[in-house]
Chains A and B, each alone.
Chain A
Amino acid sequence: MTRPRVLLAAAMTGALVLSGCGSGSGSGSAGTKKTGTLHMAFIYASTTQNPFQEMALGAKAAAGADGKVTLNEAAPTGIDGPATVQLFQAATRNSPDGIALQDLSPDLFVRPLNQAADSGVPTVAVDATPPPGTKTSLYVGNSNTEVGRALGTEFVKHVPASAKGEVVLGNDIPGLKLLEQRLAGVSAVIKAQRPNLKVLGPYNAGSEPTANYNGWNAIVKAHPNALAYLGVGSQDGVSLPLIQKQTGRKFLAGSCDVDPAALRAVKDGSLFALSSPEHWLKGYIALQLLIDHQRTGKKLPAGWWNPGTLVVTKDNVDKIIARQKDAASRTAYFSPIAKAQLAHPARYLKPLAQVD
């Protein structure tokens, strides 16, 4: 064999080994009970950020709990709307039993979501509401205003009622509705309960790890006398403690989501709290609803399913760190909660128009 052929064979073999052997797909019309293997997908915004990974883990756990679900979980390695659209389009062909879609640019999915509906593929929107003009009628996501309010409520516990000074807010992705809703929630609580404080920002902090650290570093230097720095994205809970550690300066900081580094920061006191949108639950419930739809033949529920918010403080951080240890510990913690929610859909479902 000539050298180029050897190289080619090696490259192709590598690709083959990586690719593995998939299984064929099947489909069926809605309304019929399916007992065989279901081919489903969880398409999400990026493989690189903790909140999205948590949702994917939840979806995977739901697939694993059923035992006969082949789950195609796919995402681009960075936030890239068109790339996610392409993954979604491929999923409509190979995952005909249902797709849960989590993306930060849902409006790009109008045509693909309608194509999925026309092909009889049920879809659920996760974390961001389905765009107007689509037939996707089930949304599993938080009240992000509530997530922000929870952080604000925890913040005011650490500040005397008469306190004066500046509170600086940061936004990881300006323009992203869910983060703006959280910021609105935080801001509203502070303004209502600590009227002597001056709320500054939100300033652009950046979402990717390096950009976020550099962003917050500059913000902290630009506002050296601020009383507190509050972010509402997952990376903020990593960057703000790191800045405290590297500068030796202590300040009040809080954030959202449950990045492992942020949890350690709550434990060591660098963060006063994390407001967790419980991403894992969203992924789990979205996929479980799709599975139930196929297994029972019942119609997918319509509306907004809000799995709730959890505030992580020093009081419960050890429990949450233990929960976040691995996939099994998450499943052990969340399964009873998910089962309880799924047993009473009416308690958790609201009209889509009420999403905030």
Chain B
Amino acid sequence: MTPGPEPGTRSRTPAALFGRLPRIEAMSVLVATLVLVAFVGVWHPDFFRAGQLFDTLQSAVYVSLLACGMSFLLAMREIDLSVGSGFGLTVIVTGVLMRQGVDPWLAAVGGIALGALLGLVNAVIVRFVGIPAIVATLATLSVYRGLALALSGGQQVTGLPVNSSFFVVLGGRTLGVPTSVWVLVIVVAVLTVVLRLTPFGYRVRSVGSNPDAATFSGISIPRVRLQALVLTGLLAGVSGVLGLAFFTSGDPNIGNGFELQAIAAAIIGGTPLRGGSATVAGACIGGILLSVVASGLQYFDIPANWSSFATGAVILAAVALDSVLRRRRRDRDARLGL
């Protein structure tokens, strides 16, 4: 008989590592996404082309970045409805700055800073007006969108220096992969560390898990909320800058509805509405899943008027698969007394 691993140690055999795969963060939504990709690809092998897969990933970047920020807020039982408008305003302001002759990279830094500032404005309103974040950001959703329309005069912001390295590098590819996808990978890695290993991440989860207990243990909920809202705004800024780099122009209506997609992506990815926990990678993959549905359905010649219904049905199927995998994991953990 082969002796098993000693108590308190983990086996590193391939079989044991494979057995632990389902326990990896966001594995179930990843499996659901891969099943969806495989399903489309089996019927239409063209979907497996690298170009199509990169297009799908690149399209997912904007919502996925917003979803990463949203996962922090959801973990605190908060929500930010202004992220789509923040994305749009960043696109417009960055574009206008470039059109005024500001160096594109400098304008991009300004755009990201603007995103953080918009998050700060949300936090200040919540703190000093004393209203829930969902109400404050419902108002700023309209304020930021209105600013985007006003600053652009309702027109698309065009005539940008599209040959500059900003557009070539950020809107193009690096090592054969869209640069924005690399940015997303880095952001997800950094934010996962922030959420899991830093005091800030611990405080975010503590506040969402039990706000009263968090307060009694000395955590300042307003300060943590402010930090989370600024982080979400910052990510909207990054997302907006990447969007401008790809689209090479700014539309004042761009990003309409992104807030709901970001919330959906975070929840599909495994961040529960009840708060207390979050998965940044899951939120990102949730955004990719939505993008796979949007691109994949194009291969099935679905009548346009049925496309919305079909999109919902496929998302439901993918989420059902994700839910089944989660439940199986929970049941197994319960059986093992974990």
Interface positions of A (Cβ within 8 A of B): 4-5, 7-8, 11-12, 14-15, 18-25, 44, 47, 56, 70-75, 77-83, 85-87, 89-91, 93-94, 105, 107-108, 110-111, 119, 131-133, 174-177
Contact = CB atoms under 8 A, between A and B. Distances in A.
Contact of A174 (B154, B248, B298): B154
A131 B257 contact: no
Interface of B: 43-47, 49, 51-52, 55-56, 59, 62, 149, 152-156, 158, 162, 171, 243, 246-249, 251-257, 291, 294-295, 297-310, 313-314, 316-317, 320-321, 323-324, 327
Contacts of B44: 22, 24-25, 94
Instruction: Tell me which of A19, A71, A89 has the highest count of chain B C-beta atoms within 10 A of its own C-beta.
Output: A19
B59 A22 contact: no
Instruction: Tell me which of B243, B303, B306 has the highest count of chain A C-beta atoms within 10 A of its own C-beta.
Output: B303
B248 A90 contact: no
Given A86-B294, A110-B247, 17 more contacts: A12-B321, A15-B317, A18-B302, A18-B313, A20-B300, A25-B46, A56-B304, A72-B298, A77-B308, A78-B257, A79-B256, A82-B62, A86-B59, A87-B294, A91-B298, A93-B46, A177-B155
Contacts of A131: 158, 249
19 contacts: A4-B323, A11-B313, A11-B316, A18-B314, A19-B43, A20-B301, A47-B308, A74-B304, A78-B257, A85-B59, A86-B56, A87-B294, A89-B52, A93-B46, A94-B298, A105-B254, A111-B248, A131-B158, A133-B162
Nearest to A90: B298
Instruction: Tell me which of B51, B55, B155 has the highest count of chain A C-beta atoms within 10 A of its own C-beta.
Output: B55
A82 B320 CA distance: 27
Nearest to A119: B51
Contacts, number: 160
Contact of B304 (A8, A47, A81): A47
A81 B243 CA distance: 11
B55 A90 contact: yes
B249 A110 contact: yes
Instruction: Tell me which of B56, B254, B299, B307 has the highest count of chain A C-beta atoms within 10 A of its own C-beta.
Output: B299
A132 to B, nearest CB: 8
B106 to A, nearest CB: 22
Nearest to A177: B155
Contacts of B254: 81-82, 105, 108
Given A11-B320, A12-B317, A93-B46, A73 B62 contact: no
Given A78-B257, A90-B295, A107 B249 contact: yes
A126 B291 CA distance: 26
Nearest to A14: B313
A174 B155 CA distance: 8
